[in-house]
Chain A
Amino acid sequence: MAAADIAQAPPVANSAGTGSVGMGLYMRVAWRNLWRNGRRTWLTAGGIAFSVFLCVAFMSFQLGSYDGMIDTATGMMSGHMQVQHEDYLDDPKVANRIVAGSDLLRELEDSPDIVAAAARVEGFALVSVGERSFGGLVMGVDPVREPKVSALSGQIVEGEYLPRADSAYVGKALGTNLGLKIGDEIFVLGSALEGGVAAAVFNVDGFFDTGQVELDRSILQVPLSAVQSAFGLGDSVHRIVLMGKNANDATAIAQGLAPTLPEEVRVLDWDKLLPELRQMIQMDAVTSVIVYVLLLAIVTLSVANSFTMTVFERTREFGMLVAIGMKPGGIVAMIVIEALCMWVVGTAIGAAVSYALMIGLGAVGVPIAGLEDMAGQFMMPERIHPEVSFLTLGTAPVVLLAGTLVAGLIPALRVRRLKPVEALREEE
């Protein structure tokens, strides 16, 4: 049966005689050989398609969720970058400040890479209303600039965001614990710069609810100048929060800014501001790489198995081809081309399905239902947009191309040891 198929392809007989066989012919013969056992080809190609689909889908979701996590986490409070006193990150005390903050802020705003900038002053203080009091972080912010670098102003559930010079924007949980309502007066008491007492009075004009109780219980925002004067800070600030066009550019922009900064002041990218975010991504990436490697290794093994069977079954046919003058190298080339065709079929199916799905889902995003608790804790966005890039779509096909070629080549190399006479004598 096998010999009959070959005989039906007259060019083989002709050109094999001359010893030079064209590439197009190899392709045609390899393609036909592949479909002599359609079931096997479909099963092997199906394995390739399955793993291409899974790898593409997993990688797109994974990288998409990283981008979403970074955007959500940096957009909440920290921004893409921050300019701080060099000791502030490790020791956030009032004295570790940037003197002449407003000049530096204006300079940074003029930098072409910076999309938005806002200065903050922070101090820990006792927040009291009537006889009740609670400890909290008092954050002095610029009511106009702050919404451009932080999502906190958008988490408003009641009232307005800092409409007046003595307004306070308070976490819902802190408000509940203190029994606050809109319009109430609160007293803020902390340690000022020179060791004295920092005291100020604010009016509660708005409440926010981020869904993270710890945050909602510990933060209140008030206008920048009020905190600066209460803490005796003058024009000093603690953080200048910066947003670039894209969180991924933060490191490069930060490097560019560093030499322009005054002494004792440094710029930190989100990598350093939120080290747990980078580590979480790295840890997740390491474990997923193990899965991808396993998946692709297993499919490669199954392709190798398929070709081992193929080559074994066709010993007699190969013997005949060699006997009528085909070089063993030509047979190896033919088998490798068969492997290539197998890859094309499998990858085409797997890629077609997964690319269509990922591009479609990438546009609309996938809501993560039922995991809101974790989403809050692990800084996940509400929707994941699968990332459609060369990396996510291309990795699995390229790796499998190499795997399939090796899987075809190794059994094919056995053909070089083929002895035509013995091979022809072999039972079909």
Chain B
Amino acid sequence: MPLKLLLQLSWRNLWRHRRRNGILVLAIALAVTGVMLMNTLMRGMAAGMREAVIDNLTGHVKVIHPGYMADPGIGRGFEPQEGWEQALADVPVAGWAQRVRVPAVIMSERETRGVQLVGVDPAQEAISFLGSLSVEGEALSGAEDRRIVIGATLAEQLETSVGRRLVIMTQGADGLNREAGYRIAGTYDTDSNALERVFVFTGAQTVARLLDSPAVTEVSLRLESGDDIPLALAELNAVFEDLDVKAWQDLEPQVASMVLVADFSLYIMYFVIMGALVFGLVNALATAVMERVRELGMLRALGMRPRSVVAQVVVESTLVMTAGVVAGLALAIGCFVPFADGIDLSAFSETMELMGVRNTFTPRLEVADMVTVFLLSLVLGVLASLYPARRAVKVTPLDAMRR
């Protein structure tokens, strides 16, 4: 049977029961909208977490000493050879930064706290949250700046302020304790109090002088796109032979597993909700077949092939499904657009902080996910039509005439 005739027949059959099929399309649309909107939230959450860890001094890829994770300190530092970055000519890199990052104790006249002392070259830090930091007072002027910038929360805890001095104590390259006083150039404020409590920044050369070592503890790279991570890993491994080159997924496995959960949840949500829907779809299709026993029997008597009968039911099912999915996707886009720029979630700030996400939350509607939902629905539509189609094929001209 030509496809055009098949479509025409199916279309008219559906139109014969507007109310019933209307309810079906509505239910499918509702299900698809719900699944897609939940998915935009999950995707947004995952992307937010990923961006946050990449910003928080991790970058896409980091080079560290193999022992640094277990025993962070300048003893686990290294000196990158001059011109190492030329090895990355083939990789689209957004930027890189060399840092010295060591645990330290910071003391004011009144309080003592444990922090991470990070020596940076501000010119390289456009790749991290440092690049876009809002600083009260002054930011660091360069790698040789001898002042420090601390978090606003830490400043409060230490009962100190811009312009005053703090003492920093840490272990030098020889394992001996070093201590020195530094003036506070400025205090920074971020969405995350945890960051503010932990990171104390100063010029890279200042830390080198304190620790008595020219070594750095990490080289962090931000790529143009996360898709280039494997390429960057391969190139960097060739340059830094004795060191660990790690992607952010290895450095922050918890966040990476959350991103995976988001991928996974689309399918779980889809099958849970669409599973409930399939019962209704099969029901309506089977009813439509049983109502048409006479008609189908006559068509068979006139010479319609069983194949065409099956095709007709499958096409009907697919048409209903397509109509529902298209309406659902359109509705989801409609609901998404007003929130595309972000939702203020400061009410949940502590959790967001725990999960490493910022206060404004940007949902993400991904075309790939919409395509996935659409294709899954087509498959489901065909599967749902199998049982009704089998019933339809079983109708013989004799059955029909007995009615």
- Interfacial residues, chain A to chain B (CB-CB below 8 A): 39-40, 43-44, 46-47, 50-51, 54, 91, 93, 124-126, 128, 131-137, 173, 176-177, 190-191, 195, 218, 275-276, 279-280, 282-283, 287, 290-291, 294-295, 297-299, 301-302, 304-306, 308-309, 312-313, 371, 373-374, 377-378
Contact = CB atoms under 8 A, between A and B. Distances in A.
Contacts of B280: 43-44, 47, 298-299, 301-302, 305-306
A93 B73 CA distance: 27
A309 B20 contact: yes
Interface string B253-292: 1100110000000000100110111011011101100010
Interface string B228-258: 0000000000000000000000000110011
B279 A50 contact: yes
Which of A46, A137, A282 is the most central at the interface, judged by chain B CB atoms within 10 Å of its CB?
Answer: A46
A128 B272 CA distance: 56
Nearest to B285: A43
B177 A298 contact: no
Interface stretch (B180-188, B333-341, B350-358): B350-358
Nearest to A407: B23
A40 B258 contact: no
Interface in B59-79: 70-73
Interface stretch (B3-11, B105-113, B139-147, B301-309): B105-113
Contacts of B113: 124, 135
Interface residues of B, number: 58
A195 B112 CA distance: 11
A298 B31 contact: yes
A282 B349 CA distance: 12
B71 A176 contact: yes
Which of B35, B112, B253 is the most central at the interface, judged by chain A CB atoms within 10 Å of its CB?
Answer: B112
21 contacts: A43-B279, A47-B276, A54-B275, A93-B111, A126-B112, A131-B175, A131-B176, A133-B177, A134-B114, A137-B114, A218-B114, A280-B354, A290-B37, A294-B35, A295-B272, A295-B276, A297-B30, A301-B23, A304-B23, A305-B20, A374-B258
Contacts of A275: 350
B104 interface: yes
* 9 nearest A-B residue pairs (beta carbon): A302-B280, A135-B114, A47-B279, A135-B105, A279-B351, A276-B350, A301-B27, A294-B34, A43-B283
A126 B105 contact: yes
B41 interface: yes
A298 B279 CA distance: 10
Contacts, number: 158
Given A54-B276, A132-B175, A298-B276, A176 B111 contact: no
B12 interface: no
Q: Secondary structure at chain A's binding surface: helix, strand, loop or mixed?
A: helix
Contacts of B208: none
B150 to A, nearest CB: 15
A279 B350 contact: yes
Contact of B283 (A279, A287, A294, A306): A306
A283 B280 CA distance: 31
A295 B279 CA distance: 12
B38 interface: yes
B84 interface: no
A294 B103 contact: no
A302 B110 contact: no
Contacts of B156: 91
Contacts of A125: 112
Nearest to B254: A377
A291 B280 CA distance: 18
Interface in B181-239: none
Which of B24, B115, B269, B280 is the most central at the interface, judged by chain A CB atoms within 10 Å of its CB?
Answer: B280
Nearest to A281: B351
Nearest to B257: A374
B22 to A, nearest CB: 9
Contacts of A371: 257
B258 A291 contact: no
Given A91-B156, A135-B113, A312-B19, 9 more contacts: A44-B279, A50-B276, A54-B276, A131-B176, A176-B71, A291-B38, A298-B31, A305-B27, A313-B291
